Amino acid sequence: MGMGMGHYRLSFLIVLFVGLLQHPSAAQTRSCARTCNLYFRCSPYYKELVWAVVDGVCRVYQNGCIFGSENCTRVNQGQSPLSATSPEKCKEFCPRRCPSVGPEVCGWFPYINSNGVNSDRSLAFPNRCLLEQYACRNNIGR
Ligand SMILES: *[C@@H]1O[C@H](CO)[C@@H](O)[C@H](O)[C@H]1NC(C)=O
């Protein structure tokens, strides 16, 4: 009985100690300010397209909020910031040659229908390149 209580107290102390070690440090708290949670406040339905050539490929963003969030994430990861361009200029950089096979991806395309109701459709593509090409050529923001 006495032996059992001793073990119980010891494990309680160990749990407490590990708990203290895992408490978020000041450094971890600071890093929160650098994360980009903007995306979660962006409406994917609101359409005001922003065009940007990203790493040599034209990307269409559904609106400035999503574009800004993506830019923030890139800058925090040490990548070059995004720079918006005209649709005409951007479309010169739609993916041209895509493989015909690959890991299938699902494209999700949100929009507001003619009755003003948030809607979406999804289409499967053989790979990400073909999805990007489709969105780029058909002016579909994501
Ligand atoms: C991208 O993010 C950087 C850093 O926050 C900012 O200085 C720059 O103005 C942003 N660029 C655009 C086009 O929003």
Q: Nearest C-alpha to atom 7 of ligand 1 is from which residue? A: 81
What confidence tier does 17 reach under pLDDT thresholds 50, 70, 90? very low
Q: How far apart are CA 45 and CA 42, in angstroms?
A: 9
Q: Is residue 42 scored above 70 in pLDDT?
A: yes
- pLDDT tens for residues 99-111? 999 899 999 999 9
Q: What is the pTM of this model?
A: 0.73
How far does the centroid of ligand 1 lie from the alpha carbon of residue 69, in Å? 9
Per domain, the residue ranges of the chain are 25-137
- pLDDT tens for residues 51-104? 999 999 999 999 999 999 999 999 989 999 999 999 999 999 999 999 999 899
| Contact assessment for residue 95 and residue 133, using Cβ atoms and an 8 Å cutoff | yes
- CB of 54 closer than 6 angstroms to any ligand 1 atom: no
Give the number of other CB atoms < 10 A from CB of residue 139.
12
- pLDDT tens for residues 110-134? 999 999 999 999 999 999 999 999 9
Query: Who contacts 106 (Cβ-Cβ below 8 Å, separation ≥6)?
Result: 122, 123, 124, 125
- CB of 50 closer than 6 angstroms to any ligand 1 atom: no
- CB of 107 closer than 6 angstroms to any ligand 1 atom: no
DSSP-derived pairing of the beta strands 57-61 and 50-54: antiparallel
